[in-house]
């Protein structure tokens, strides 16, 4: 049983969670559920990033202590994830004693190895990014991310010899085409490593300027730079290097982030791993931004969508489906309620919901609500089954390669083909003609394909998936109890054979999974 360890970012506690954070965490949850279904011992983690200038400034602005702010906002993030059916195995707070111990041990290790030195540095500091920029990196004199003025700061600090590992990292990225994916971000990472020598990384802040951080183990006048501290949360969740958990899961680690934090994950982090003599992660999965009216949704701009309100308004699973279906992983996507409603009505109400409602009501009407026994397949059934196989294999392949939108599109090819098959096979005509055997074949083929669709949708729509399976008369105890051992590894076989659905089982007569949203009456929370 291969382990699977996925990390979502640990989010800053300077403001409440918004749709962008919810997206990454929901994707992490869906990827973990999928890995479990595919047979892996899977978990994902997240947490909150609580040190640094940005947090101190946010507390000052809120007129509260930094401790009060971090406790409150960290609590809000932690409480949101279960509401969105995302279940991180661990939630790391960077202010926790466990995390501080991991950071200090790591710093001491690479200090002892000679990869940290003391020096003087002057640079343009952006408080939003918590990092220095060189003059060349600024855009018209301001921070290229936040478009806000920077502050020139010159001071003595500790530096990590990042440049020492530049060539090895470049080679690793070149030798492993899917180390950073999709490809456009691999190219961006390579561009950072090509040409000029990397600056060494300034990893400390003097306490005279900032005291809200983790003390360096070798100099108590300094605290650790927040990014150096934050990345190590991925180790804290595994109880630190050397632990049993770490040895088991770290070699299978994957990260999930948006493009704003590509550089720390593609450059800082792998060089830190090399300095500590630890293996690289497997994949860095990078997605684009959710935009609101073509502008990045961001707490500093204030154009954010509340994930919980939207989920409550349209249904959590429909919301999760929309997020995974609408955004091509890697590219930006625009969030609008109109787009959500359009997707809901087309894909969920018309295609999927309608399929369930038609087939279940016909089973009720023509077969007393019981799964009928199938007769021999005709060309029509062979064609549908061939298509089902292709669609499910495609779904599994694309989903595993973080192409969620394409995976769902492939699954919907099957949903739509089944609706057409209903029209073509016309069960009502078979019932009228008294052809029970063919009627059984048609309804069985449909119900069995619908069961497979419902199972494949579990990572995306966990509640609706169970509802669909229950309507099909399947025993869902293992899903209701989220029994990982029983769920693990059930998906690969589903794209191969047919006939797992028991005949004679009672199915629901009425389905009503996704009632159509009337556009005129939909008054949204996020207009
Ligand atoms: O960067 N669209 O935390 P953060 C899509 N603490 N995703 C978005 C988004 C948007 N408009 N806005 C935010 C940090 N995100 C660091 C991370 S990890 C060791 C430290 C998501 O609170 C996306 O995952 O600014 C992005 O990378 C992350 O939130 C940034 O969260």
Q: Give the atom of ligand 1 at the shortest distance from the alpha carbon of 48.
A: 6
Taking the chain (527 residues) in runs of 10, the rounded mean pLDDT of each run is: 96 94 98 98 98 94 97 98 97 98 98 97 85 87 91 94 97 98 98 90 93 97 97 98 98 98 97 98 98 80 83 94 98 94 97 98 98 97 98 98 98 98 98 98 98 98 97 92 92 91 95 90 48
> Does residue 38 belong to any structural domain of this protein?
yes
Q: Quickly tell me which residue has 């090895």 as its tokens.
A: 168
Please give the tally of structural domains in the chain. 2
Residues 93 and 161 placed together within one structural domain of the fold: yes
Please tell me the residue having the least CA distance from ligand 1 atom 10: 20
Ligand 1 center to 423 CA (angstroms)? 46
Hey, how many other C-beta atoms are within 10 angstroms of the C-beta on 152? 10
Given this model, what pLDDT does residue 297 score? 78
| 228 shares its domain with 358 | no
Ligand 1 atom nearest the C-alpha of 261 is: 27
Domain edge (last residue) among 287, 305, 321: 287
- 40/147 same-domain check: yes
Residues 6+ apart with CB under 8 A from 320: 26, 30, 84, 85, 311, 460, 461
Clarify whether residues 260 and 351 are in a common domain: no
Ligand 1, pocket-test mutation among 7, 11, 295, most atoms within 8 A of CB: 11
290 lines ligand 1 (CB under 6 A): yes
| 176: in domain | yes
What CATH number has the domain bearing residue 49? 3.40.50.620
Same-domain check for residues 118 and 12? yes
**24 CB near ligand 1 (under 6 Å):** yes
- 341 and 274 in one domain? no
Q: Are residues 257 and 391 in the same domain?
A: no
Report which protein residue has its CA nearest ligand 1's atom 23.
258
Q: Is the CB of 258 under 6 A from ligand 1?
A: yes
The reply to whether 321 falls in a domain is no
* 282 and 346 belong to one structural domain: no
Pairing of strands 333-334, 290-292: parallel
Is the CB of 261 within 6 Å of ligand 1? yes
Assess whether the C-beta atom of 20 lies below 6 angstroms from ligand 1.
Answer: yes
- Judgement on whether residues 241 and 350 belong to the same structural domain of the protein: no
With a 6 Å cutoff on the Cβ, whether 289 touches ligand 1 is yes
Q: DSSP string spanning 107-140?
A: HHHHHHTT-EEEEEEEEEEETTTTEEE-GGGSBT
Same domain, 160 and 44: yes
Query: So what's the pLDDT on residue 303?
Result: 80
pLDDT on residue 229: 97
Asked whether residue 504 is domain-assigned, the answer is no
CATH of residue 423: 1.10.730.10
Smallest CA separation from ligand 1 atom 14, residue? 11
**Residue finishing a domain among 255, 287, 319:** 287
| Burial class, 497, CB count within 10 angstroms (exposed 0-12 / middle 13-18 / buried 19+) | exposed
Whether residue 138 is contained in a domain is answered as: yes
- Which structural domain, as residue segments, surrounds residue 394? 337-495
Does ligand 1 lie within 6 Å of residue 348's CB atom?
Answer: no
Q: Which atom of ligand 1 is nearest to the CA of 231?
A: 19
* Residue 35 domain flag: yes
Residue 23 maps to a domain: yes
Closest-CA residue, ligand 1 atom 27, reads: 258
Q: Ligand 1: which of 19, 20, 84, 273 to mutate, most ligand atoms within 8 Å of CB?
A: 20
Reported pTM: 0.95
Shared domain for 12 and 147, answered yes or no, is yes
* Euclidean distance between CA atoms 175 and 80, whole angstroms: 39
Measured CA to CA in angstroms, residue 427 lies from 189, 363, 434 at distances of 56, 9, 10
The string of DSSP codes covering 196-226 is SPPPPEE-EEETTT--SSPEETTEEEEEE-H
Q: Compute, in angstroms, the gap from residue 319 CA to the centroid of ligand 1.
A: 19
- The set of catalytic residues is 18, 21, 126, 129, 143, 146, 296, 299
Ligand 1 centroid–CA 147 distance in Å is 17
Dihedrals phi, psi of 474, to nearest 5 degrees: -85, 150
> What atom in ligand 1 is closest to the CA of residue 12?
22
Query: 341 and 277 share a domain?
Result: no
Which of 266, 287, 308 terminates a domain? The answer is: 287
Residue 20 placed within a domain: yes
How crowded is residue 210: how many other Cβ atoms within 10 Å of its Cβ?
18
């Amino acid at each position: 049983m291969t382990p699977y360890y996925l990390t979502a970012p640990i989010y800053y506690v300077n403001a409440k969670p918004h749709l962008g954070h919810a997206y990454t965490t929901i994707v992490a949850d869906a990827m973990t559920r999928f890995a479990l279904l595919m047979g892996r011992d899977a978990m994902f983690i997240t947490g909150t990033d609580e040190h640094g200038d940005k947090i101190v400034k946010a507390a000052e602005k809120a007129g509260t202590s930094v401790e009060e702010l971090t406790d409150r906002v960290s609590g809000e993030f932690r409480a949101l994830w279960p509401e969105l059916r995302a279940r991180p195995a661990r939630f790391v707070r960077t202010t926790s004693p466990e995390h501080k111990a991991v950071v200090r041990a790591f710093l001491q290790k690479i200090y002892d190895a000679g990869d940290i030195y003391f020096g003087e540095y002057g640079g343009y500091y952006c408080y939003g990014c918590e990092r220095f920029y060189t003059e060349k990196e600024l855009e018209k004199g301001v921070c290229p991310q936040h478009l806000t003025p920077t502050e020139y700061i010159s001071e003595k600090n500790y530096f990590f010899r990042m440049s020492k590992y530049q060539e090895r990292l470049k080679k690793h990225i070149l030798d492993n085409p899917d180390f950073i994916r999709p490809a456009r971000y691999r190219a961006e990472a390579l561009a950072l490593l090509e040409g000029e020598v990397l600056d060494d990384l300034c990893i400390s802040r003097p306490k005279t300027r900032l005291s809200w951080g983790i003390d360096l183990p070798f100099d108590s006048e300094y605290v650790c730079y927040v990014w150096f501290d934050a990345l190590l949360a991925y180790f804290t969740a595994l109880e630190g290097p050397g632990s049993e958990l770490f040895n088991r899961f770290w070699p299978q680690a994957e990260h999930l982030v948006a493009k704003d934090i590509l550089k720390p994950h593609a450059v800082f982090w792998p060089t830190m791993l090399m300095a500590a003599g630890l293996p690289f992660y497997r994949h860095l999965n990078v997605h684009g931004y959710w935009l609101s009216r073509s502008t990045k949704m961001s707490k500093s701009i204030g154009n954010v969508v509340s994930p919980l309100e939207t989920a409550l308004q349209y249904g959590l699973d429909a919301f999760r489906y929309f997020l995974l279906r609408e955004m091509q992983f890697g590219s930006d996507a625009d969030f609008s309620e109109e787009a959500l409603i359009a997707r809901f009505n087309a894909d969920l109400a018309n295609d999927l919901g309608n399929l369930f409602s038609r087939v279940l009501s016909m089973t009720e009407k023509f077969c007393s609500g019981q799964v009928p026994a199938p007769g021999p397949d005709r060309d029509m059934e062979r064609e549908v089954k061939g298509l089902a196989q292709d669609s499910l294999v495609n779904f599994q392949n694309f989903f595993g390669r973080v192409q969620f939108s394409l995976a769902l599109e492939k699954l919907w090819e099957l949903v739509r083909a089944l609706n057409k098959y209903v029209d073509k096979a016309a069960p009502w005509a078979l019932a009228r003609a008294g052809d029970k055997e063919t009627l059984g074949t048609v309804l069985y083929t449909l119900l069995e394909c619908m069961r497979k669709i419902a199972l494949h949708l579990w990572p995306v729509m966990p509640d609706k998936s169970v509802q669909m399976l229950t309507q099909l008369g399947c025993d869902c105890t293992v899903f209701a109890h989220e029994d990982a051992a029983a769920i693990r590894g059930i998906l690969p076989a589903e794209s191969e054979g047919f006939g797992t659905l028991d005949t004679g089982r009672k199915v629901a007569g009425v389905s009503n999974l996704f009632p159509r949203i009337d556009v005129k009456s939909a008054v949204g929370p996020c207009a």
